[in-house]
Every structure is written in C-alpha cells, then in structure tokens.
Amino acid sequence: MTLPGAPFVAYRGTELFIDGCAASELAARFGTPLYVYSRRAMLAALAPYQRALAGREHLICYAMKASSSLAVLQTFAQAGCGFDIVSGGELDRVLAAGGDPGKVVFSGLGKTRAEMRRALEIGVRCFNVESEAELDVLSEVALSLGRVAPVSLRVNPDVDAKTHPYISTGLKGNKFGIAHDRAVAAYRRAAQLPGLKVVGIDCHIGSQITEIAPYLDAADRVLDLVEAIESSGLRIHHLDLGGGLGIQYTDERPPAADALIGALLARLDARGHGARTLVFEPGRSLVGNAGVLLSEVLYLKPGTHKNFCVVDAAMNDLMRPALYEATMSIVPCRLRDGVPVVYDVVGPVCESGDWLGRDRALALQPGDAVAVLSAGAYGMSMASNYNSRPRAAEVMVDGDVATLIREREPVAELFRGEHLLPAD
C-alpha cells in the first residue's frame, strides 16, 4: 500500500519504516507516545520550492508554528531558510537553533511591546503588521530604541481558501490582516510614521489549501494594491505571498509545490511584477508528511455500538482530530495476520473528544504499536499537559540513524514552577 509520506514512510514486508528505521523498533527503544520525523523527507519537501524559485530574488521562511522543535529549525536553517514567527518565544527558538534573525519575518496580530523591542534589538528582517493600531505602537517602540522598523502590511484580500473555517485566514470575517479597502490608506499612514520604513506587502489566506485558484485570486488582489500604493509614490520592495499549501492526510490531492509556485510566478510575470523579491512562508507542506506519532495499544474494548482501541497517545499529544475533526491515517507498525476489526482509536484523556481516529479497520493486539501518519505539523507544537500528562519524546531519523531531539517530559517538570500555600 502507498501511505501518506511515501517514500519516506512505507512498509518493507510487514514492518513500517520511517526512512531507514523500523517504527516498532523506535517505539521499543524510545518509548511511546513518540513523535518521529524524517530529516530527508523535510528536505525533499523543501526542494521543489527551491527549484521553482531558482534564479529569482526570494526568501523561503519556514512557518515554524507547524513544528518548532530545535532540530527541525536547525534543519531548515542549514538549508538556507528564514523563518516566519508569531511570538517572542519563537524568535528565541530560531536563535537557539542557529537561525539568522535577518531572515525572520515577524507575523501575528497581537505583538506586545516587549516582543517588538526584542525583535528590533535582534534585527529581524521585517514586521508583518496586521492592524493600523499596531503601526502606531511599533513606530513608538522603534523610536524609543533609536531604530526604524521595517514593515510589511498584511492585507486581507477576502479570498475563500476553501479550507476548514478554523484555518481560513483571508476572509473579511477573519481576525487577520488589514481590510483590502483600507490597505492604501494604511500604507500612507505607515509612510508618515517616523519609526517605520515600508518594505513590502504580505498576504496569507489559510492553511491546508488544496487548490491553486485561491492563491491566484489572492495574488491578483495583492498586485492590484501594489499598483495603487506605488501610484501614490510609495515603493513596495517585496511581495510576501504566505504559505498554507496542503498535504495528503487521506485522499487529498494538493498541487505540488513547484506547480503552485510556477503558477504564481507566471501570474506575476504576466502583470509585470516578476522582478520583485518574493517571500513564501510554507509550514505544513514542509513537515506534515515527514512526521508520525507512534503509540502503544493498551486495551481493545468491544462494545455494543462501538469497538474501542485504547492507545497511550491522546488529544494532549495530538490535538488536530479533536480540534478540527481531522482525519489522519492510522496504521500498525507491524502487520499481523487476522481479520481486521473496526475500532475508534482513542486515548486515556477524560474527554469524549479524545479520539485519534474513528471507524478504522485494524488487526491489532494489546502491546502492538500503531502510527498516526502525517503528524509532523501541528502535532507536537500544539501538545499540552492536559490531565497532567507529560509531553512526548521526539526523534529525528536520517537514513538509518535515529537521534533523540527532545527528551520525554518528566512529571516533576509539570509542577516545577508551582508553589504550595504557606503552612498555617
């Protein structure tokens, strides 16, 4: 069978392999729940972006909210990427991983003054500003430091990305960006503020997008604004067209990254904007299919209406199914003989929403390991300690070499910063 993440996630005989490592052996060696990522799969996902943009002035900024572990960031930094960040904590992670702050774009609609100050002191490439009020605050903070903040305004093009409403970001009803009909006035305002320098324009319409058309619609809307802004005397140096390209979880068929970039470049060329510096912010498409979540089967629980496969991973480890009702492939780490039984795959957390997959036909026994596929994006980065459960360990594989990149969280760490009330 061909699995999401192939060829880096595939069966060899009866054993599931992640790159050159057997999944069942990784589960036994490092314990479960366990996130495993293929370094070679991440670089293979990056390659079509780099090929399509070869010869163009560009910067690929990995959207690190998808997966922010230091070894993941290190992999992309060493490959020449910059980073799209949305918090001061993410900026510190970039620095800890050896990333170049001059290749960082700071997005997010709720930046604090402290975060702005830190980013200015470090010297990020650009702030993607999301409101006119933020322009005033950023200018004030920059002047207090004797700096000028480079800014790109994130505009909301009111384009339907045709994705889940929780991850659609480019409609007028979404909280993100400056409304399309306010953009020109906002740019004029930014140009008048002494602490700011206008350098670009930014647009991001959503995540898990599986069609090219919404990107082209958004690009046309952005180019209309660029032409209107520049007709008033301002100069836009770069176009940031965001990210959001989808991956295969089950039967999705998103366009290849180079096909998407090629279509966008053709549209820019046709409208006379091909010489501009381009910024892209892929996240999920670089890491999603490169990661899996391994879990042990604890109990098989038959019922009158449902059969349950209880595993040791839960919604605190992987939030996507509970949050988005996301469907992700779940497969045994070792195929066994026997008639498959239809199970809901659930975790130990005390919520009915704690499920990883529904109605899955699986041949399993307690003690077997299963793999939730396409878990590299928004898995570990959204993990929590709900029910006082420690977060999973993480492993990076490169060929047949497996490296522990995050230790399993000790229970004592969960309450290390807490304090009992004084004794009476």
Tokens (6 digits) for 99: 């990333």
C-alpha 397/C-alpha 186 separation (Å) is: 47
Same domain, 186 and 325: no
Say if 63 falls within a structural domain: no
| 121 is known to lie in a ligand binding site | no
Distances, alpha carbon 37 to alpha carbons 13, 172, 185, 393, in Å: 21, 36, 45, 11
Q: Can you tell me whether residue 146 is helix, strand or coil?
A: coil
Mean pLDDT of 51-57: 96
Total structural domains within the chain: 2
Span 111-118, average pLDDT: 98
More confident residue, 134 or 171: 134
**Known active-site residue 81:** no
Distance (Å) of CA 307 to CA 130, 162, 304 = 47, 34, 8
pLDDT score of 169: 47
Distance of alpha carbon 319 from the chain centroid: 13
Give pLDDT, residue 164: 45
Q: Is 2 a member of any domain?
A: no
Question: What distances in angstroms separate CA 255 from CA 48, 245, 246, one per listed residue?
Answer: 11, 8, 8
Does residue 350 share a domain with residue 213?
no
Same domain? For 228 and 295 the reply is no
Closest among 47, 59, 71, 76 to 401, alpha carbons compared: 71
Q: What is the CATH number of the domain that holds 208?
A: 3.20.20.10
Q: What is the pLDDT of residue 170?
A: 42
State whether 28 and 132 are in the same domain. no
Average pLDDT over residues 263-279: 95
Q: Which residues form the domain of 196?
A: 107-282
Final residue belonging to a domain, choices 223, 249, 282: 282
Judge if 334 and 395 occupy the same domain: yes
Task: From 266, 282, 298, give the residue that closes a domain.
Answer: 282
Nearest residue to 215 via CA among 274, 281, 128, 151: 281
Within this chain, do residues 377 and 237 fall inside the same structural domain, yes or no? no
- 283 in a labelled binding site: yes
| Contact yes or no for 49/63 (Cβ under 8 A) | no
Residue 282 marked as a ligand binder: yes
Q: Are residues 305 and 362 in the same domain?
A: yes
Same domain, 245 and 325: no
- Reported as a single tens digit per residue, the pLDDT across 157-185 is 876 555 445 444 444 555 567 888 889 99
Q: Are residues 114 and 157 in the same domain?
A: yes
Q: What is the mean pLDDT of residues 65-82?
A: 98
Query: Which pLDDT score, from 0 to 100, does residue 162 have?
Result: 55
Same domain, yes or no: 153 and 295 = no
Question: Rounded to 5 degrees, what are φ and ψ at 196?
Answer: -120, 150
- Pairwise pLDDT comparison (328 vs 304), residue with the higher score: 328
Helix (H) or strand (E) holding 261: helix 257-270
Say whether 378 counts as a known binding-site residue: yes
Q: Report the alpha-carbon distance of residue 89 to residue 83 in Å, rounded.
A: 13
69-107 per-residue burial string, b: 16 or more CB within 10 A, e: under 16: bbbbbbbbbeeebbbbbbbbebbebbeebebbbebbbbb
Indicate the pTM of the whole model. Answer: 0.94
Is 281 annotated to bind ligand?
A: yes
**What is the pLDDT averaged over residues 81-90?**
98
**Of these residues, 21, 61, 81, 350, which one is catalytic?**
350
What is the helix (H) or strand (E) element at residue 358, kind and residue range? strand 355-362
Please report, for residues 221, 288, 323, 408, 411, the alpha-carbon distance to residue 379 in angstroms, rounded to integers and kept in the order given.
33, 9, 12, 15, 20
Burial of 399 (0-12, 13-18, 19+ CB in 10 A): exposed
pLDDT surpassing 50 at residue 414? yes
- CA angle, 173 as apex, 211 and 379 as ends, to 5°? 55
